[in-house]
Amino acid sequence: MTVVVQVSKVHPEPGVIVRAAAIIRRGGLVAFPTETVYGLGANALDPDAVESIFTAKERPSYDPLIVHLQDATQMELVAADIPDLTWKLAAEFWPGPLTLVLPRQPRVPSAVTAGGDTVAVRVPSHPVAHALIVAAGVPIAAPSANRFGRVSPTRAEHVWTDLAGRIDIILDAGPTSVGVESTVLSLVEATPRILRPGGVSREALARLLESVEVEHHTIVEGGTAVSPGTTPQHYAPEASLTLFQGPRAQVLPAMRRAALGYIEAGERVGLLLVEEDLSVFADLPVIREALGSVDSLSQIAQRLYSALRALDEAGVEVILARDVGTTGLGLAIRDRLTRAAAGGVVVMSDGSAADSPDSAPSGPLTPLAS
């Protein structure tokens, strides 16, 4: 049976924390809020407890977990040969949404690292996450607390929907603040490499690092859509999502045409929009989810997963979303939407729309994949 316990996100009640920490110590599973998304935690040094995370989530064993620490000094429990740069990054970004990939200590169960010789570590800033790790007295391995293949949970209700009956307790501290997962930065190669964009921007890392590489697919226009089959469907809603990239003046008419096409075909359409675009679609029989102002990427990130889940719950078959660029948190938002885009990525460019998009309503879109 799974219990849900409310907990203050500012001053977590000690009684709640002690109870949850005891569950961690006896090998149980605790869903808890972090500043990014809700995590599903177990004692990172207990192989059986770690195994049960994979069972509860139906997560394949090749997908490694992030180890959550109380502070940077705990790194030495799970990582070896820690490069000097690590301490500099830790001092700047921890506690916070940055995960560092380091050589592992042999004591780390291989389930945590998916059998690999590296371990991912992070110090979360959320008071509930921090208090839980301190009270448990052990590092806590935790992936996102969703069933594998589903959108990450940013509210306790999302965790309940996915994992009720499969885990011991859910600590409910309300919606998370960052809303997308941590940035995963590998420090095991010569040049630091962003494996997954997230809550800490590439620009913020670049200010501290001499050079930083980014996994190619996350920055190119169209991105992973070139071979969507090779992308883990890590962040996918149930509806088929199509992501539209390019200048607003081209993208909005293209989205309108696509929406009209689906409506004509009798499909229920959901739109994932910024507030400034809402009025463009006011006359259409569609469900519109506004993420926030185009000027507030942090608000868009915070609401992204809730909006995807809300559209699924509303029963839409198709979701059309507009890209927000690659500046700051935009890179993480694009990465997640691209991974979610089972319906493909449509790239509009200034050139392709030489003929006015409004006067060419039947003009073909440019899907890179479908």
Residues 6+ apart with CB under 8 A from 304: 179, 180, 291, 333, 336, 337
**CB of 78 vs ligand AMP, minimal distance in Å:** 11
**CB of 343 vs ligand AMP, minimal distance in Å:** 23
| Phi and psi torsions of 161, nearest 5° | -55, -40
* CB closer to Mg ion, 36 vs 144: 144
Of 45-53, 114-122, 162-170, 240-248: span binding ligand AMP (CB under 6 A):
114-122
Does position 20 interact with ligand AMP (CB under 6 A)? The reply is no
Does position 144 interact with Mg ion (CB under 5 A)? The reply is yes
Of 12, 33, 41, 64, the residue at the interface with ligand AMP (CB under 6 A) is 64
* CB closer to ligand AMP, 184 vs 225: 184
Which of 348, 318, 324 lies closest to 337, judged by CA? 324
CA distance 180 to 197: 9
Of 21, 77, 101, 300, the residue at the interface with ligand AMP (CB under 6 A) is 101
Does position 196 interact with ligand AMP (CB under 6 A)? The reply is yes
CA distance 324 to 330: 6
Burial of 361 (0-12, 13-18, 19+ CB in 10 A): exposed
Q: Residues 9, 149: contact at Cβ < 8 Å?
A: no
Residue for token pair 């440019």: 366
What separation in angstroms does the CA of 147 have from each of 1, 153, 236, 304? 17, 10, 11, 18
Site for ligand AMP in 120-159 (CB under 6 A): 120, 143-144
Binding site partner of 195, from Mg ion, ligand AMP, none, Cβ cut-off 5-8 A by kind: ligand AMP
Does position 83 interact with ligand AMP (CB under 6 A)? The reply is no
Beta strands 287-290 and 240-245 are unpaired
Which amino acid is residue 30, in one-letter code?
A: V
Q: How many CA atoms are closer than 13 Å to the CA of 103, on its beta-carbon side?
A: 7
**CB of 117 vs ligand AMP, minimal distance in Å:** 9
Of 30, 66, 72, 108, the residue at the interface with ligand AMP (CB under 6 A) is 66
Q: Any bridge partners for residue 66, and if so which?
A: 120
Q: Residues 333, 241: contact at Cβ < 8 Å?
A: no
x-or-dash pattern for ligand AMP, window 201-230, by CB under 6 A? ------------------------------
Does position 113 interact with ligand AMP (CB under 6 A)? The reply is yes
Site for ligand AMP in 294-323 (CB under 6 A): none
Does position 103 interact with ligand AMP (CB under 6 A)? The reply is no
Of 3-11, 99-107, 144-152, 361-369: span binding Mg ion (CB under 5 A):
144-152
Residues contributing to the site for ligand AMP (CB under 6 A):
63-66, 101, 113, 116, 118-120, 143-144, 181, 184, 195-196
Residues contributing to the site for Mg ion (CB under 5 A):
143-144
